[in-house]
Each structure stands twice: as structure tokens, then as C-alpha cells.
Amino acid sequence: MKKNRIASFALIVLTAVAGLTCRPNIGLGGQIDIVPPEGEITYPDVGETPIRGSFVLKGTASDDDGIESITVVFENIETKARSSVYTAKGFTVGSTPASWTVNVVNEA
């Protein structure tokens, strides 16, 4: 009976030590970015005269992990037709916040 108590006590102590010192090697890998980026068009102002022909579009963007690229696509509200992709320039990759510029060539 005394041997069972000693064995049980030793087993409990070893289990407690193993549980407190061993760390689970479980994770999601690298850090996951769960905060979405934010962006705003700063020029032209909302409500200005409709734009005809080519024009410059300016804005700002921010992301907690830094900005890698900025692209702009226009979509027709009625037909859902999309324009080609315009790549923004004028910012440093990895910066946050970033001010950007896009030269839009409008042939229609």
C-alpha cells in the first residue's frame, strides 16, 4: 500500500513537471495580418465637375504591415465592366502611411 502511494505521488509530480515545462509546438506559422488596409482618394474632390479625358488621381493608403503595392480599377455601376488596372506611383514600398498618384488615361 505504501509503495502505491509513493508511485502515485511520483507519477503526479512527474506529470506536473512535464505539464509545466513542456511547451506545445502548435501555431499558425508566421504572423497573420488581420487588420485590413485603409485607403482614401484625396483628388479630385467629391462633387467636382465630371472628368472627361485623361486625369490624375491622388490618394493616401495605410497598413500596419506597410504598403507593398497600390492599384486602381474603375467599375461601371450599371454594366459591371472594369477598366484596366492602373498602378500607383510616388510612394516608398513598405511605408505607412503612403501618398500615391495614378495617371488615368481615359480614351472614352
Residues 2-29 as b or e (16 or more Cβ within 10 Å = b):
eeeeeeeeeeeeeeeeeeeeeeeeeeee
Q: Name the phi and psi angles at 43, rounded to 5.
A: -150, 130
Q: What is the pTM of this model?
A: 0.63
- 31 domain residue, yes or no: no
d(CA 100, CA 71): 10
pLDDT tens by residue, 14-49: 776 666 666 666 666 667 778 899 999 999 888 777
Distance CA 69, CA 62 (A): 11
Range of the domain at 56: 38-104
Note whether residue 85 is domain-resident. yes
- Helix residue ranges, H only, 22-107: none
The pLDDT value given to residue 89 = 94
Per residue in 69-79, pLDDT tens? Answer: 999 998 999 99
Asked whether residue 13 is assigned to any structural domain, the reply reads: no
What's the number of domains the chain is made of? 1
